[in-house]
Amino acid sequence: MKISTRIVSIVMAMCMLLGGVISANAAKYEARIGHLESAQQPRNIGLLKVAKLVKERTNGDVEFKIFPSSQLGNQRQMNEGVQFGTIEGTVSPAAFLGGFNPAVSIMDLPFLLPADRAQAQEIRQGALGKALLKSFDSRGFKAVATWPDGRKNFTSNKPLTTIDSYKGQRFRVMDSKILIEQFAAIGASAIALPFGELYTSLQNGVVDGEENPLDTIASMKFYEVQKYLVLSDHGAMEDFFLFNPTWWNSLPKNYQKIIVDTLMEVMPSVEANKEQAQKDALAVIEKAGVKVSKLSDADRETMRNLMFPKTKAAYIERAGSEGEKLIKLYESEYKRIVK
């Protein structure tokens, strides 16, 4: 059967038109960004907002596709994927980055950031924060921003009424010499255990206590096997936005600026959502009958003074001269900001 020249022409024209529409709508710069948290948590909600705004502000040229809940692998796999260029970006907690960049382990130091959130943000955005972002340049990453992701608190099956009451207690930590020294400084011992074993370890008395943000304590139901909680806010949980350098450098400078500016614009709402999640979690913990107390300003200062020298030494041992420079920078910033 013969097809008329006119029909062929019409079909070809339609194909060209549709091709033009698809081409016009396709993003020039697409980034798959993976992270660990679930779709309902503040980090992912913030990332979706960033993706929407970046797409609008670049007229559709830059598109972020967000993959929560470890869809692109565990954090180590995602970090390596960014280095090798198999994915374009990830949002990684600092705690998962020490093996890639020892300098970032400064975030493990207890009481690193002030309790006051505005002062903490000043340090995060100041000379120390900028130096930490730059430290990734030689490690196969382009770090462009940080977001707060909550603060750690202490729980135990034994009272935590005074600093002396920590003596002799056993706390679970991640495998970090800095965190081990943190507890040694107040006469406690620290045992590195996999996170998946923590509930049963608390239940069976392998360890007396642990440290985590309130929402983690609630979601993992640690309150079922813990009697005491101290609102200490001692450990800062920080997220780093990491991109593959080749992908990042392919972007026009104005698009890079749009991305960074948008991340900073959305950050306060993410922190507010995270703070609300902490309040909601605290209500769950209190309802379960856990005895809750708050670390006083005086005890906070005393505990910081006890912990900081030992943990600082452990950090410098790991991060070397680069770590020494960052510590000096931090101490100068902290002294200036925290009057």
- 198-248 confidence digits (pLDDT tens): 999 999 999 999 999 999 999 999 999 999 999 999 999 999 999 999 999
Looking at residue 120, what is its pLDDT?
96
Which two three-digit tokens encode residue 173? 């930590």
331, 124 contact by CB (below 8 A): no
Which two three-digit tokens encode residue 99? 């093996």
Band the pLDDT of 26: cuts 50, 70, 90. confident
DSSP 197: G
Which two three-digit tokens encode residue 35? 């992270």
Residue type, 41: Q
pLDDT greater than 80 at residue 6: no
Judged by phi (left if over 0) then psi (alpha if -120 to 50, else beta), residue 174 lies in beta
Nearest partner of 324 among 332, 333, 313, judged by Cα: 313
Nearest partner of 153 among 260, 234, 51, judged by Cα: 234
Which two three-digit tokens encode residue 102? 């020892």
Q: How many helices (H) and strands (E) does the chain have?
A: 11, 9
- 48-60 confidence digits (pLDDT tens): 999 999 999 999 9
Band the pLDDT of 339: cuts 50, 70, 90. confident
- What distance in Å separates the CA atoms of residue 121 and residue 296, rounded to the nearest whole number? 22
DSSP 76: H
Percent of the chain at pLDDT > 90 equals 92
| pTM value > 0.85 | yes
Q: Per DSSP, which regions of the chain are E strands?
A: 29-34, 62-67, 89-93, 142-156, 170-173, 189-192, 209-212, 228-243, 291-294
- What distance in Å separates the CA atoms of residue 234 and residue 97, rounded to the nearest whole number? 20
Sequence-distant (6+) residues with CB within 8 A of 90 are 33, 34, 35, 72, 75, 78, 79, 81, 82, 242
Looking at residue 3, what is its pLDDT?
45
Residue type, 258: I
Q: What is the CA radius of gyration of the chain?
A: 24
pLDDT greater than 80 at residue 43: yes
- 248-260 confidence digits (pLDDT tens): 999 999 999 999 9
Average pLDDT of the residues of the chain: 93
